[in-house]
Structures are given as C-alpha cells and as structure tokens.
Amino acid sequence: MRLLFLILFSTAFILKGQDKIFLKNGSSKKGIVISVGNDFIFFKTSDTALITERISKSEIVLIEKYNGKIFIFSKEESPVDSLKLNKKIYRNSFGIQPFNFLLGRITGAYEYLSKNGKIGFVIPLSLTFDPVGVIYKTTVDSTRSSAIHTKGFNFIGGADVNFYIGRNNFEGFFLGPRIRYGTDMFLQGTEAYSLQTQFGWKLGEPDERIAQHISVGIGFVRILASPLGNRINPKQSYGWFSINYRIGFNW
C-alpha cells in the first residue's frame, strides 16, 4: 500500500510540475522548459524524455511555469518586417526605354516581381522602324554605300529574368538572362535572336511609383536572315553588347 501511495504521489508531483507553452496557432504543449535562447526555447515532454524539442520564440504567446509564473513573449520587428508593415510594395511595373528610339525602336516592358521581391520577370516588346530619313538625314548620292530608308515596321520581343541580390531586395544590384528575337528594321530587315547576361542596378523604393533600371548586356547574336549581303552573313553568330535604360510606373 505504501508503494502504491508513493507512485501516485510521485505521478501527481510530476504532472503538477510541468510547464505549459501556449502557441500563436491556438495549441499548447506541456513539458519542462530546459533553457531559453535568443530565438528558441528548448523543452522536454517529461523529465525522463530523451528528446529535447525546440520551438521558435516567434511562435509562442506565453509560458506558464509549474510554480505559476507567467512569461509573455512578443516578436520584435526586424527591418524587413517593419518595411512590409509600413510600406506598400508594388509588384507590377510598366516602363519604356526612351533611348531605344534613336536606334529605331519604340520599346515597352512589363515586369512582375515575386512575392519576396527578389525575382523580376520581364516581358519586353519593341516596334522597330528605320530611323534613317526619320531621325537621321539620308545621303543624296547614288553610291551603293549611301544610306537608304527602309520602309515598314516590325517587332522584336523576348524575356528577361532579373535576380535582385542586393542587401535591399527591392533596390540595388541585379543580374540574369536576357533573350531577344525579331526583325531589326534599322538593319534593313535583319532577322536574328540574341542571348545575353545582363548586369544592372535598380533605383526606386518599394512604395514609390517610379522605378528606373540601368543595365549592361553581354552575349551573342545569331543572324537568321539578312538582306545586307556580305556585310552581315546569315546563319552566323557574333558577339553582342547592349546598354539599356528603362523608366517605369509601378502599381
């Protein structure tokens, strides 16, 4: 009888001596809190348990100790959390590349940012025309080397993927692939595709309506068809370099 009493007494003491952990998801845990760190608390479900569990302090509402003491936990805001709470992040942008007009292109580009703001998916489209005779004067002589205006319009499209790797996810350095395909009327209707690696810098806070991109592309271009004869050989690849500037409106 004494042995049974001691077992019941010890069990009651163990149950009474358990700590209670209340979580933000509405659930609770009973156990023994071993230690409290900067980011996590460590506890066991019982004094004889072999496994020590770990819970993030950001998930805990409060801890009620076996002696009745209560410890309330509140998550401190990090700079990123404060940014998300106080600023509205615009994930859509439409911009133009004004300097492309000098090369016979009217270019617009739509960009969509991922949820964390670290990846931008860009769809550009250019209406191409021959600026010779429109922006630049044509030569009057009739030699074969004289500039002749090429009539008509065509298109160049493609895709970019911008990986923003600066300390600020929404502003700073980015890089990624840059693909283009279409017909360039400045080169008298040359059809080609190009593949480049793009390096650039984005200017603009996440809550601002205006953003700017400045980048440099390095890669190659593959000529598919060209009326320029010996000056550009079809079915050939050439080194290709580009400097790009885009100013956009965010929403």
d(CA 106, CA 99): 9
pLDDT at site 101: 95
Amino acid at 38: N
pLDDT at site 6: 45
Q: Per DSSP, what are the bridge partners of residue 162?
A: 120
- The answer to whether 63 and 71 have CB atoms below 8 angstroms apart is yes
Three-state DSSP state, 84: helix
- The answer to whether 245 and 98 have CB atoms below 8 angstroms apart is yes
Query: Residue 228 has what DSSP assignment?
Result: S
CB atoms within 10 A of CB 107: 20
pLDDT string in tens for the chain (251-residue length): 454 444 444 444 444 468 889 988 888 888 888 888 888 888 888 877 788 888 888 889 888 887 778 888 765 444 444 444 445 678 899 999 999 999 999 999 999 998 878 899 999 999 999 998 888 876 555 544 456 788 899 999 999 999 988 655 445 789 999 999 999 999 889 999 999 999 999 987 767 889 999 999 999 999 999 887 667 777 788 999 999 999 999 99
Q: How far is CA 10 from the centre of its chain?
A: 58
Instruction: Provide the whole-model pTM.
Output: 0.62
CATH numbers and ranges of domains, the chain? 17-76 (2.30.30), 85-250 (2.40.160)
- The answer to whether 28 and 62 have CB atoms below 8 angstroms apart is no
